[in-house]
Amino acid sequence: MNKRIESIGTRCGLRKTIAIVTMVVISQSSLAEEQNNGFSSRTKFAQNKKFLVEPHEDAECYPMLRNLRRASNRVQSPGRIRLRQTQLALQAIWRTENPRVVDGVNQKLAEYGLTFSKCTSEITTSKQSPRASDQWWLLHEIEPMSFGYGATLIRAGANLKHGNTVVQIPHSYYDKGTLAFVREAMRIPGINVIMVNTVHRYRAKGVSDQDRDVHLADFAHQDASLYQALTQTIARLAPQSRFVQMHGYKNTKSAELILSAGLRHPEPSLRALLRRLKAKLESFANAKLSPCTFKTLLYPSQSRRLGGTQNTQARWLNPRGYRFLHVEMSSALREQSTASPGCRRKILEALVDAPTEGLKEGERLNTQSTESSAGRH
């Protein structure tokens, strides 16, 4: 064992070695606990190599993602050990894309029914290899045994010097039209992570209407989810990240968009950021740059509903000074955006490129208020 660690350390460096060794130690020490928690299937994943999805660098990410959503029809709590192993795997991939490290990470993840596959943002027509910026790592479940853990796209070789935006789509079934934003998000520099659910928030197999409050498949309101664990890991790895979470609501005459920081009483600098976002979005419509209209309201100053104040990711990120944006889109805007890539791109560009000079590093946002159900989504 010592020789093996020494060999890995020589090839990959100390930090990468620590991540890999930690995965091994946690895995070995927690086997009994997993079996007690109903994870006896981990050996099935490890032994049945036919379940493994080999990375295909010429495969297109979006169709792969859609197929994963079709394959998932049930939901199961991932358990503490699986969550921790996946966090460690993401840390290792984030720090290096050395093929030996990736192989080691995937061998360990396979025991928990997960794997990293490589794909491209779109198929190239030329014989040349895809550009590095077009390549993505897709963290997903290994078929056919899927439990609705969601899927996460991470841009390969991402350069974080110019910031990092994480686009989250937790209700891609329920909020129709939000999944279409994935295709445009992959084309925009600065968006380096995209997170999508793979099971309907209310229609997971085995979950009745009476169990809706359990929210096992509702990642925006579930603490013990892979979605939340990866959110926490990304925030720690890239503290200046902006988390943009996209939702949908029924039509109203007042606006097409409602923007919020997930707080009932945001700091002045954050309110200024929201105003800049609003101005940029509405400028697109005024300049007739797209067929969509972007009339925007801000929560809580202009809208008292759909502020996302009970959102699980917001309630973890905001008190720690991370940046979170809750974006509500009307059904009319989502319908327009589904038919217009230009609409989707303008919305994403505004949310990614808006200046953030008012926010100080590590600034703690004001969350000392009682949250209202009016802000839930």
Reported as type and span, the H/E element at residue 326 is strand 323-330
CA–CA separation, 212 vs 202, rounded Å? 6
pLDDT of residue 281: 83
Task: Count CA atoms within 13 Å of residue 275 on its CB side.
Answer: 9
Measured at the CA of 270, the angle between CA 268 and CA 272, to 5 degrees, comes to: 70
The DSSP string of 107-146 is HHHHTTTEEEEEEESS--SSSSPPPGGGEEEEEEEPTT--
For residue 57 the two structure tokens come to: 């660098």
pLDDT tens, position by position, 354-374 = 544 433 333 322 223 323 334
Reported as type and span, the H/E element at residue 249 is strand 242-249
Strand 114-120 relative to strand 135-141, pairing: antiparallel
Q: What is the pTM of this model?
A: 0.78
Residue 14: CB partners within 8 Å, gap ≥ 6? none
160 residue type, one letter: L
For residue 114 the two structure tokens come to: 């997960």
pLDDT tens, position by position, 49-85 = 333 344 455 688 999 998 888 776 678 889 999 999 9
Region class of 142: left (phi > 0), else alpha (psi between -120 and 50), else beta: beta
For tokens 């358990």, the residue is: 79
Confidence check: pLDDT of 182 > 50: yes
The DSSP string of 179-227 is TTHHHHHTTSTTEEEEEE-SS-SS--BT--GGGGGG-TT-GGG-SSSHH
Residue 374: CB partners within 8 Å, gap ≥ 6? 304, 305, 306, 307
Q: Are 109 and 115 in contact (CB under 8 A)?
A: yes
pLDDT tens, position by position, 135-147 = 999 999 987 667 8
Among 114-118, 224-228, 290-294, the least confident range: 290-294
For residue 345 the two structure tokens come to: 């791109």
305 against 315, higher pLDDT:
315
65 residue type, one letter: L
Confidence check: pLDDT of 33 > 50: no
| Torsion angle of C-alpha atoms 204, 35, 23, 65, degrees rounded to 10 | -20
What would the mean pLDDT of 322-326 be, rounded to a whole number? Answer: 94
